Chain A
Amino acid sequence: MGVAGGMVQQVTVRGPSWDGRLTVLILFLPPALLLFTLFVVLPIGEAAWYSAFNWNGFGRPSNWIGFDNYRFVLETRAFWLALRNNGLIIAVSLAIQLPLALTLALMLAERFRGAVALRTLFFMPYILAEIATGLIFSFVYDGDYGLVASIWRTFGAEPPHLLASTDTAMLAVLIVIVWKYFGFHMMLFIAALQSLDKSLIEAARIDGATRSQALRHVVIPLLYPTIRLSVFFAIVGSLQLFDLVMPLTRGGPADSSNTMVSFLYNNGISRMRVGYGSAIGVILFAICVTFAFTYKRWFMRDE
């Protein structure tokens, strides 16, 4: 097409095409913006507002108590337990789940009989509903009928009620978390491994690197972006964890296995303490946003 021809068509198109664009702007954008503002952004703002009141959700909030709700939250022992548990979840994700996922990915990224089937199997827990997973494991841990109890009994020992003791409840929840989520992280690593530039590894091998040297000095460094992403997902996931805890322990016994969200549910939502619950929500929001920005800034700058 010649320059002149292009010019002519530009002129003939401009009028109707601008109208078209305006129509699209007016029709296509508002539904998304409206829904997002109404159900995501406004509630966060309102949480900040409600958190200054002592309010049970009926009528209008009128009993202004300033920052007292935040003080009450910070004075609650269960809040710090929940925060500690979220820390534990992150620690287990980093210390156990991530190495496990990476090892499995390195094994299963190669082609051999059964590799694809194993990948599917390991990913399966991830797609199961957390509620179902929690119920399955509350059976596994059940002191009378469960799998753990039956193993204990074959050794002639009195079966423990793992979920009913403050010493073991959180440990039991942590094992379920690894069971459910390692496959997701494994898939992340497999996807990354498959898109790696194989020639780099071959070059290292030709230069005399052993298999494990090539792994340590070439493959793992190439996976750093994915590792950072996996850590990001593990932390974000820990901060939202709720569904899994409810069928297992409901956060108990004695708040020993609460996460931030189950603490919010047990103390704010289920008792309709709107102000108090909103304060927890705002604290959780602040943690999430601070974390997301810091992490992006420090660890994911190059992406």
Chain B
Amino acid sequence: MSSAETNRSPFDPAVLFKAVFLAVVAVFVLVPLLATLLGGFKSLGELRVNPFGLPRHWEWQNYADILFSGRYWQLLRNSLIISTLTVALTLIVASMAAFTFAHIKFYGSSMLLSYLTLGLLFPAATAVLPLFIKVRDLGLLDTYFGVALPQVAFSLAMSVLLLRRFFKDIPYELLEAALVDGCSYVKFFRYVTLPLSRPILATVGTITFVNSWNAYLLPLVMLNTDALYPWPLGIMVYQGEYSSEWHLILAFITLTILPTIILFLLAQKHIVAGLTAGAVKG
């Protein structure tokens, strides 16, 4: 923690221990990921004798076959549709509710807010059977909305809390001045609150996106048609079909996690801020 000791010699045992420790953890994290990436470039026979090292013969065919198959793109497209629906609806619905809770005092306001935060207490899985029956009765089974709407509902609690805290920090004088100038609340929301809140909207949007993109249980329960499957479902089906042809499965895994990793490296700040957001109390 203190900067006084950063200039110690590299042969200090403490520094050495630290370097070794970090290296061991880095290897522990990296090896499965690299083996997956490289495994996709091997033939099944080589994988068996050489699972760790670089491929002796690079089999581009494994990756090419998947990239040129309609299947991979269909899975990504389905995931993208469901995640985009979820993010868009969450942002709209949650920011409207958060705006109300932040700026309008009304009877029952704090009670309703606590009601929404009940959603933080338990996982979606607890009520997934009744949820399935509800979605079925609404005629949404086997549709994108049948997955997206429950996902929105479950992401509301956290989203409303995060957004409300940010909206509350927008200076009240700004709202007052706008109202005096004849701007309505709705217009204020649209033209002042939302543009000023881009960072928090990006954060909430990213958390919701990552959660929806990676989700497995809800789509598993709500979708029956292969053509609608998002990638986590699709990859499980793929694994079932090619049960021990690991070179193909590894290539498929690599290609499906690639978008996540790229997005993570691009939007790292928002993702880390968003996913650790619960840590900052407000």
Q: B135: nearest residue on chain A (CB-CB)?
A: A39
> In the bound complex, do residue A128 and residue B260 qualify as a contact, i.e. CB atoms below 8 Å apart?
yes
| B76 interface residue per 8 A CB criterion | no
In-complex Cβ contact of A43 among B118, B127, B184 (8 A):
B127
B180–A27 CB distance below 8 A: no
Q: Report the minimal beta-carbon distance from B171 to chain A, rounded to whole angstroms.
A: 16
Within 8 A of A (CB), among B201-245: 210, 213-217, 221, 232, 235-236, 239, 244
Q: Within the assembled complex, what's the spacing in Å between the Cα atoms of A191 and B185? A: 36
* Across-interface contacts of B47 in A (CB, < 8 A): 145
Are B239 and A135 closer than 8 Å at their CB atoms?
yes
Which residues B236-282 have CB closer than 8 A to chain A?
Answer: 236, 239, 244, 246, 249-250, 253, 256-257, 260-261, 264-265, 268, 271-272, 275-276, 278-281
* A28 adjacent to B236 (CB under 8 Å): no
Most buried by B among A32, A100, A145, A233: A32
A32→B213 contact, CB < 8 A: no
Contact B154 A106 (CB under 8 A): no
Interface of chain B, main secondary structure: helix
A289 to B25, CA, bound (A): 35
Quick check: is B126 within 8 A (CB to CB) of the other chain? Answer: yes
Cα distance, A35 to B221, chains bound together (Å) = 19
B168 within 8 A of A: no
**How far, in angstroms, from A268 to B131 measured CA to CA in the complex?**
13
A124 cross-chain contacts in B, Cβ below 8 A? 29, 33, 261, 264
Take A32-B116, A129-B214, A130-B216 as given contacts and tell me if A44 and B29 are in contact as well, using a CB distance cutoff of 8 Å: no
Query: Interface on chain A toward B: helix, strand, loop, or mixed SS?
Result: helix
* Complexed CA–CA distance, A276 and B2 (Å): 57
Inter-subunit contact A24/B244 (CB<8 Å)? no
The answer on a CB contact under 8 Å between A211 and B216 is no
A124, A191, A226, A268 pick with most chain B CB within 10 angstroms: A124
Q: B129 touching A268 by the CB < 8 A rule?
A: yes
Q: Are A188 and B276 in contact (CB under 8 A)?
A: yes
With a cutoff of 8 Å between Cβ atoms, the chain B residues found around residue A112 in the complex are: 6
Are A288 and B276 CB-contacts (below 8 A) given A32-B97, A179-B29? no
Chain A residues closer than 8 Å to B112, beta-carbon distance: 29, 33
Q: Which residues 9-62 of A sit at the B interface, judged by CB distance below 8 A?
A: 9, 13, 16-17, 20-21, 23-25, 27-29, 31-33, 35-36, 38-44, 46-47, 50, 57
Which of the four size classes fits the interface of chain A? Answer: 35 or more
Q: Is the CB of A240 within 8 A of B123?
A: yes
8 contacts between A and B (CB under 8 A): A23-B186, A24-B186, A36-B119, A128-B214, A129-B232, A129-B256, A211-B2, A243-B232
Residues of A whose CB lies within 8 Å of any CB of B are 9, 13, 16-17, 20-21, 23-25, 27-29, 31-33, 35-36, 38-44, 46-47, 50, 57, 100, 103-104, 106-110, 112, 118, 120-132, 135-137, 139-140, 142, 144-147, 149-150, 179, 183-184, 187-188, 191-193, 198, 201-202, 205, 211, 214-215, 219, 226, 229, 233, 236, 239-240, 242-243, 246-247, 261, 264-265, 268-269, 274, 277-278, 281-282, 284-285, 288-289, 292, 303
Q: 5 closest Cβ contacts across the A-B interface?
A: A39-B153, A43-B127, A129-B214, A32-B97, A240-B123
